[in-house]
Amino acid sequence: MPETEPSKPSIFDIVTQNYVWRSIFRHGYADTPRNRVLQVSANVWLHLHPSKMRRHGIRYRHTWCAGGLTFLLYLCTVVTGVVLMFYYRPTGEYAYWDVKYLDFDVPFGMIMRNMHRWSAHGMVIFIWLHMFRVFMTGSYKPPREFNWVVGVNLLTLTLLLSFTGYLLPWDQLAIWAVTVGTNMARATPLLGNEGPFGPQLGMTPRYDARALLTAGTVVGSPTLLRFYVLHCIFIPLIASILMILHFWRIRKDGGISGPL
Amino acid sequence: MAENINPATIQDQEEVKVTAGRARANIPLADLPDKVHTWPYLVRAEFISGCVLLLVLMVWSITVDAPMEEPANPTKTPNPSKAPWYFLGLQEMLVYFDPWIAGVLLPSLIIVGLMVIPYVDINPKGNGYYTFHERKFAITTFLVGFLVLWVGMITIGVFFRGPGWNLFMPWDYWDPHKVVPLANIDLPYIVGIRSEMGAMLFGAVLVIGWLAGIPGLFWQWKKDSPAMRELGLLRYGIVSNLFMVMAGVVVKMALRLMFNIKYILVIPNILNI
């Protein structure tokens, strides 16, 4: 092709060189250092990352991607959980049958429920792997002490999220697992009716730490509602706030940990 | 990509010549500069690992259904009733300790103990890279806690506990009528102490000696070493107590499983350890 002849724009150019496209993506895609930086800093999702980072941090064997995958699994449970909420009523008379309806009649209902459950279990496993990795690389050491504390809180909240969700199918597995779990609260010192000094402080089966958790003396319909609200609103809200803090602190504490 | 784009719209034409295709070329990590662009190097790794995870999750969800049993029935208690698998380590503790210790005190100590780690581990080495020989104590303690006490206890709870919370091998028939002799006796009784007061004193000496005496003696012995001076009494107290509690759990489990010892310290209606 002679150099003087203007080249015809390709379909790629037509799509990416128009006014609308350029209003959304303010930088080009050409592989230039400037665009590489903008690709991260001009993107609301990616700008959690620094635009440049220390090279050992991109190795799989340094991070195992465990923290990021924990967050991805959390997003999976949020998306599938919202779908499940459209079909689920948290009362003793409906809950079980709504789940059955989801499993057998709702299009893609079963796979939504499966994905919700397995990603929740995956989240528990990956958050442990993440903690394990962070400990093994000593990444909790200064200046990241406080972010480790936030992480331990997130671990606790993840377990509580999973535990509150365990009750919602309202089957035998659910109520008895939650009965075993909440029974421990009976024995809380001072605040449980069977705990040390609990009875002396006026704790009764109807009025103690366990009754606060189960909204009654047994795991029943009021417990279901209570766990539902904790599971769908309260704990995700707190966990999201802590996640924002956790991710922000990674940047503020100097990004990915590495040899000093 | 670069050759597809109208050069007139490219901001950094000079840089294109320098860098085009570098991300795709398989440059060894060691030849990269110390700081690399997050795009594409990190984003690519995250994208691939995320895709693999989602793929596994999809296949798993298509092939394995979430459990669903009979409708909830408060009048029909299954035997065994198991907590969710990630809490079975705590449920397993109920075998060895009273409920308020197993269900409230120890979980709280686990959470608090994990949170204080960065504040009591003052070893500056091993910050941001894998090493064992620069932090032997920290890593050994964590591995015992994580693998033996956490993962190990969950494994026992999931695979080895059957009706009546008795021990079964995974291939055993879960006999709900399995007869297990209640042969557990308290340690003071085994060593021949018959009076209640004597048993209490004996148990208290052992427990206080374990939690305070041994750490105290160790402090007396080592307090002038440079490491201990740097650690300080407060940090040493926290670390040694958490460590002895953790070790105590292991010792108590071993005593129960090997010698059928029920309690070490018995103060009726108040405190049994």
Q: Sketch the domain layout of chain B as residue ranges.
A: 2-63, 94-272
Distance from the Cα of A172 to chain B's closest Cα (Å) equals 4
- What band does A150 get if pLDDT is binned at 50, 70 and 90? very high
Look up residue A51 and give its DSSP letter: S
Weakest mean pLDDT among A93-102, B31-40, B151-160, B198-207: B31-40
Distance from the Cα of A133 to chain B's closest Cα (Å) equals 9
User: Which residues, in sequence order, are CB contacts of B184 under 8 Å at separation 6+?
Assistant: B256, B260, B261, B262
**In this model, does residue B27 exceed pLDDT 80?**
no
Query: In this predicted structure, what is the pLDDT of residue B16?
Result: 39
In a domain, A3, yes or no: yes
Question: How far is it, in rounded angstroms, from Cα A47 to Cα A126?
Answer: 23
What value does the mean pLDDT take over residues A61-90? 96
* A19: contact with B, CB 8 A cutoff: no
How many residues does the structure list for chain A? 260
Same-domain check for residues A172 and A63? yes
Same-domain check for residues A155 and A166? yes
Query: In this predicted structure, what is the pLDDT of residue B13?
Result: 39
Closest-CA residue of chain B to A181: B83
What value does the mean pLDDT take over residues A93-118? 96
In a domain, A129, yes or no: yes
* A259: contact with B, CB 8 A cutoff: yes
User: Contact B146/B136 with Cβ under 8 angstroms?
Assistant: no
Q: Which residues of A touch B267 (CB under 8 A)?
A: none
Q: Which of residues 84-123 of B touch A (CB under 8 A)?
A: 84, 86-87, 90-91, 98-100, 102-105, 111, 114-115, 117-119, 121, 123
Same-domain check for residues A117 and A223? yes
Weakest mean pLDDT among A4-18, A221-235, B200-214, B235-249: A4-18
In a domain, A175, yes or no: yes
User: Which residues, in sequence order, are CB contacts of A95 under 8 Å at separation 6+?
Assistant: A88, A89, A168, A169, A170, A224
CA-based R_g, chain A, Å: 25
Share of chain A above pLDDT 70, in %: 98
Same-domain check for residues A136 and A179? yes
**In this model, does residue A127 exceed pLDDT 50?**
yes
* B181: contact with A, CB 8 A cutoff: no
- What band does A130 get if pLDDT is binned at 50, 70 and 90? very high
Query: Residue A232 half-sphere exposure, CB side, CA atoms within 13 Å?
Result: 19
| pTM of the predicted protein model | 0.90
* B148: contact with A, CB 8 A cutoff: no
Inter-chain touch A46–B66, beta carbons under 8 Å: no
**In this model, does residue B177 exceed pLDDT 60?**
yes
User: What's the sign of the alpha-carbon dihedral A167, A172, A175, A180?
Assistant: negative
Question: How far is it, in rounded angstroms, from Cα A170 to Cα A90?
Answer: 9
Query: In this predicted structure, what is the pLDDT of residue B21?
Result: 45
**In this model, does residue B272 exceed pLDDT 70?**
yes
Higher pLDDT: B33 or A51? It is A51
Same-domain check for residues A41 and A152? no
Query: In this predicted structure, what is the pLDDT of residue B205?
Result: 95
Q: What is the pLDDT of residues B91-108, one digit of tens each?
A: 999 999 999 999 999 999
Weakest mean pLDDT among A15-24, B75-84, B125-134: A15-24
**In this model, does residue A24 exceed pLDDT 50?**
yes
Of A9, A118, A148, Cβ closest to residue B117 = A148
Inter-chain touch A117–B21, beta carbons under 8 Å: no
Query: In this predicted structure, what is the pLDDT of residue B35?
Result: 87
Question: What is chain B written as a DSSP string?
Answer: -GGGS-GGG-S-HHHHHHHTTTTTS---GGGS-SEEEHHHHHHHHHHHHHHHHHHHHHHHHHHSPPP--SBP-TT---SS----GGGHHHHHHHHHS-HIIIIIIHHHHHHHHHHHHHHH----SSSSS--STTSHHHHHHHHIIIIIIIIIHHHHHHHSB-GGG-B--TTS---TT-------B-HHHHTT--SHHHHHHHHHHHHHIIIIIHHHHHHHHHTTSHHHHHHHHHHHHHHHHHHHHHHHHHHHHHHHHHH-B--SSEETTTEE-
The complex scores an ipTM of 0.91
Inter-chain touch B70–A220, beta carbons under 8 Å: no
Give the domain-ending residue among A11, A31, A52: A52
What value does the mean pLDDT take over residues B114-138? 94
Query: In this predicted structure, what is the pLDDT of residue A55?
Result: 86
Phi, psi torsion values for B20, nearest 5 degrees: -55, 130
CA-CA distances (angstroms) from residue A139 to A84, A131, A145, A215, A247? Answer: 37, 10, 8, 41, 14
The b/e string for B124-151 (b: 16+ C-beta within 10 A; e otherwise) is: eebbbbebeeebeebbebbeebeeebbe
What value does the mean pLDDT take over residues B131-148? 94
Closest-CA residue of chain A to B58: A115
The b/e string for B182-197 (b: 16+ C-beta within 10 A; e otherwise) is: eeeebbbeeeebeeee
Tell me the range of A59-68, A121-130, A202-211 where mean pLDDT is highest.
A121-130
Weakest mean pLDDT among A23-27, A96-100, A130-134, B199-203: A23-27
Same-domain check for residues A38 and A140? no
* A189: contact with B, CB 8 A cutoff: yes
Inter-chain touch B19–A13, beta carbons under 8 Å: no
In a domain, A260, yes or no: no
Q: Which residues of B touch A146 (CB under 8 A)?
A: 118
Closest-CA residue of chain A to B151: A128
Same-domain check for residues A109 and A2? no
Query: In this predicted structure, what is the pLDDT of residue B252?
Result: 94
Question: How far is it, in rounded angstroms, from Cα A67 to Cα B97?
Answer: 34
**In this model, does residue A83 exceed pLDDT 60?**
yes
In a domain, A259, yes or no: no
Question: Tell me, what CATH number does A243's domain have?
Answer: 1.20.810.10
* A213: contact with B, CB 8 A cutoff: no
Weakest mean pLDDT among A157-166, B1-10, B200-209: B1-10
Q: The domain containing residue A47 runs over which residues?
A: 1-52
**In this model, does residue B266 exceed pLDDT 60?**
yes
**Mean pLDDT (chain A, rounded):** 92
Inter-chain touch B128–A137, beta carbons under 8 Å: yes
Q: Which of residues 135-154 of A touch B (CB under 8 A)?
A: 135-142, 144-146, 148-149, 152-153
What value does the mean pLDDT take over residues A74-84? 97
How many structural domains are present in chain A? 2
**In this model, does residue B268 exceed pLDDT 90?**
no
* B126: contact with A, CB 8 A cutoff: yes
Inter-chain touch A144–B118, beta carbons under 8 Å: yes
Distance from the Cα of B71 to chain A's closest Cα (Å) equals 4
What value does the mean pLDDT take over residues A229-256? 96
Question: What is B102-140 written as a DSSP string?
Answer: IIIIHHHHHHHHHHHHHHH----SSSSS--STTSHHHHH
Query: In this predicted structure, what is the pLDDT of residue B24?
Result: 46
* B73: contact with A, CB 8 A cutoff: yes
Amino acid identity of B69?
E
Weakest mean pLDDT among A66-75, B105-114, B190-199: B190-199
Cis peptide before B40 (omega within 30 of 0): yes
Q: How far apart are the first and last CA of chain A?
A: 54
In a domain, A183, yes or no: yes
* Pairs of residues, one from chain A and one from chain B, whose beta carbons lie less than 8 Å apart: 288
**In this model, does residue A205 exceed pLDDT 50?**
yes
User: Which residues, in sequence order, are CB contacts of A18 under 8 Å at separation 6+?
Assistant: none
User: Which residues, in sequence order, are CB contacts of B16 under 8 Å at separation 6+?
Assistant: A30, A31, A32, B2, B10
- What band does B30 get if pLDDT is binned at 50, 70 and 90? low
**In this model, does residue A164 exceed pLDDT 50?**
yes
Inter-chain touch B57–A138, beta carbons under 8 Å: no
Q: Which residues of A touch B273 (CB under 8 A)?
A: none
- What band does B229 get if pLDDT is binned at 50, 70 and 90? very high
Weakest mean pLDDT among A137-151, A195-209, A226-240: A195-209
In a domain, A257, yes or no: no
H-helix or E-strand spanning residue A25: none
- What band does B8 get if pLDDT is binned at 50, 70 and 90? very low
Query: In this predicted structure, what is the pLDDT of residue B156?
Result: 94
Inter-chain touch B37–A115, beta carbons under 8 Å: no
**Mean pLDDT (chain B, rounded):** 87
What value does the mean pLDDT take over residues B16-28? 49
Question: How far is it, in rounded angstroms, from Cα B254 to Cα B264?
Answer: 13
